Amino acid sequence: MPGRLTTSRFAHAQRGGILELIPYLRGQGSFTKRSAQIMKKAVLTTRSLLSLVLAVAFLTGCSDSVLSDTDTTAGIQDSEAESSFTKLRHSHLLRAKFLSRTKVLERYESLAASDDFVLGMSKVLERYKVLERYESYDGVVIKRRYRNAIDGFAVHIQDSLMSIEDFLSIVENDGDISWIEPDIKVNNAQPKRSNLKPGARQYLPWGVERVGAGIGSSASVDADIFVLDGGIEWTDLNESGDVDVVVSGSGNAMSAAHGTHIAGTAAAEDNSRGVVGVAPGARVHSYKVLNGAGNAKLSDVIEAVDRITAMKLAEPSRPMVVNISFGADIGTTEYNGLDEAIANSIAAGVVYVIAAGNEGIDASTVTPAHVTEAITVGAYDRYDTFASFSNFGPTVDLLAPGVDIESLSPSRRPFAPPVLMTGTSMAAPHVAGAAALYLDAKPSATPQEVLEALTAAAQPGIAAVPVNTTSLSVHVAGLLWSAVDGFTSLTNVESSVSDRLKPGKGRGKGRR
C-alpha cells in the first residue's frame, strides 16, 4: 500500500524536485489526466526557469564551482542562505550532504569540518544538566567542556548513529544552546628554516635589536608568556611548564621548532650563550595545541584559552601575555568560538598578541587575527620594508621584524646553531616580549593600556605598507611607563641600547 503523503514527505519532495510528487499522487489514486496535465505544465515551467538560471550563470561566469577568491562575501551569503538552521554559524565551513551545495568552496576545503562542532550555551543555571542531556544522545561524544572563556562544549558526531541534520535539528530546538559552528582546523604556515653557524658566545638577533631590546638586563623579566603552538624544546629559556592540549596527532622536533623559535624571540635568557629575547628570562609556558603537521582543531585552541583564562581569574594580579602564531582565513569578519573566547579572556585581563598571517590578504577575515581587542602583528624585513607575504589592513595594530629572524633551535645540544625563520609568526613574539616588559614594570596594566603604551612608543617609517595599514614598528626603547603614574621614561634604556653591543662580559656582538 502506498505511503501517506505527510507534511514531512511533502517537504522532502519539494526539496527533491516536483517530479518526486508523482509517485505519491499515483499512490493516492488521484493521478488523473487533469493532474497529469497540471503536473506536465509545472515541470515545463520548472525546466524553463532552470534554463534561464543556467543562461545567467553562463553569461556572468559565476557558479560555486568557479567562484573566485574575490567573491568570498557572496559565496558565504549564499552558503548561509542554504541552511535552514538559524543557530548554525559559518555554514560555509561545513561539509554536509543535506545542504543544497554539493561541497564547500575549494579555498576552505582544508579547514572545513564534517562531524565535529563547537556549541555555545545560553545563560543556564544548571549547565551540567545540559551536558548530561547531550551525553545521553546516541552518537554524540562530548570532547571539550568550557566555562571560563566561553560557556559551551565541543562534540563529535558518530554519523552511523545520528545524522548531522538530526543533530542540528536538536540544537535548533534547544533553548539552552545559543549557537553551533563547525570545529574547523587552524594552522601555521610551516616556514622555511635554515641553520646558522654555531657559536659559543651570545649575540643579539637583528630583529630584537631593531625593536630596541636585548642585552643589558641583569634580572629576568617578571611576567608570564604563554606560547600556544606545537611545543617547545627547552633550552636557554626560563621554563615554566608544558601543557599538552592536543586531542590527537603526535608531535615531533619539526613541530616544536616553530614554538621554540617563537619562545626564543620573546624571552631567550640574557646569559653567556645563544641568542637574547626581547624580554629575557620571562617565564615561558608551552601550551601545545598544534599537532605534528602544524594543525589544530578550533576546540583544542579554545581549551587552551579557557585554561589560561581560569588561571587569570584565579590570580587577577598575575601579568600574562599569550602569543598565537597561527590561524585561518575563514572568509568572514564574523567571530567564531575561538574569537569570542579570546575576546572574553582579554576582558578578564590577559594580553593576546596574534600573528596577522602570511596570505598577503586583509586580515579582517582571518581568525583569530581579526579579534579587535587583541594586538595583531604584521611583518617587515631588515630594510624596514613591509613583507609582501604579510596580511594587512586596519586589523593590524603594529609591525615587527619577520623576515630571516634568528632564534633558538629545537636542538638540546650545547651551543646549537640558531635557526632562521620567516613569517608573521616570527614578528608576533617581538611584540609579546615588549608587552611582557611593560607588564614587568606595570603589572596592573589592562590589555587596552598595554596596547596604547606600545602604540604610543612605536616608531613610524616602515615602507611600502598597503593602504589602511599601520606603518608603526614596535619599539621597546621608546616605551614610557611607571608603576606609579604610567608616564616616566625608562631609566638608561637608550644608553643600554647603544652600549649593549660593546665586547666584554662574555656577550657576543650583535649583527644585522
Active-site residue list: 229, 258, 425
Q: How far is it, in rounded angstroms, from Cα 87 to Cα 279?
A: 44
Helix (H, G, I), strand (E, B) or coil at 452: helix
Instruction: State the first-to-last Cα distance of the chain, in angstroms, to the nearest integer.
Output: 85
Q: What element of type H or E holds 329?
A: strand 328-329
Q: What share of the chain is helix, strand, coil (3-state, %, to 5)?
A: 35, 20, 45
Q: Where are the alpha helices (DSSP H) in 162-281?
A: 164-172, 206-210, 253-267
Q: How far is it, in rounded angstroms, from Cα 363 to Cα 335?
A: 13
Q: What element of type H or E holds 7?
A: helix 7-16
User: CB atoms < 10 A from the CB of 493, how many?
Assistant: 16
Cis peptide before 368 (omega within 30 of 0): yes
User: CB atoms < 10 A from the CB of 331, how many?
Assistant: 21
Distance of CA 320 to the CA centre of its chain: 19
Q: How far is it, in rounded angstroms, from Cα 387 to Cα 190?
A: 17
Question: Do 407 and 418 form a contact (C-beta atoms < 8 A)?
Answer: yes
The one-letter amino acid code at 36 reads A
Largest CA distance in the chain: 103
Q: How far is it, in rounded angstroms, from Cα 391 to Cα 362?
A: 6
| Dihedral angle, C-alpha 439, 261, 209, 370, nearest 10 ° | -60
Q: Locate 22 and state its grid cell.
A: 508523482
Q: How far is it, in rounded angstroms, from Cα 52 to Cα 46?
A: 10
Distance of CA 54 to the CA centre of its chain: 38
Which DSSP string do the residues of 62-115 spell out, in sequence order? Answer: --GGG--GGGHHHHHHHHHHH---TTB--GGGB--TTSSSSS--GGGTTT-BSS
Q: How far is it, in rounded angstroms, from Cα 506 to Cα 237?
A: 18
Secondary structure of 367-410 as H, E, C letters? ECCCCCCCEEEEEECCCCEECCCCCECCCCCEEEECCCEEECCC
User: CB atoms < 10 A from the CB of 455, how many?
Assistant: 14
Angle between the N-to-C axes of helices 337-347 and 298-314, in degrees from 0 to 180, rounded to the nearest 10: 10
Q: Where are the alpha helices (DSSP H) in 192-252?
A: 206-210
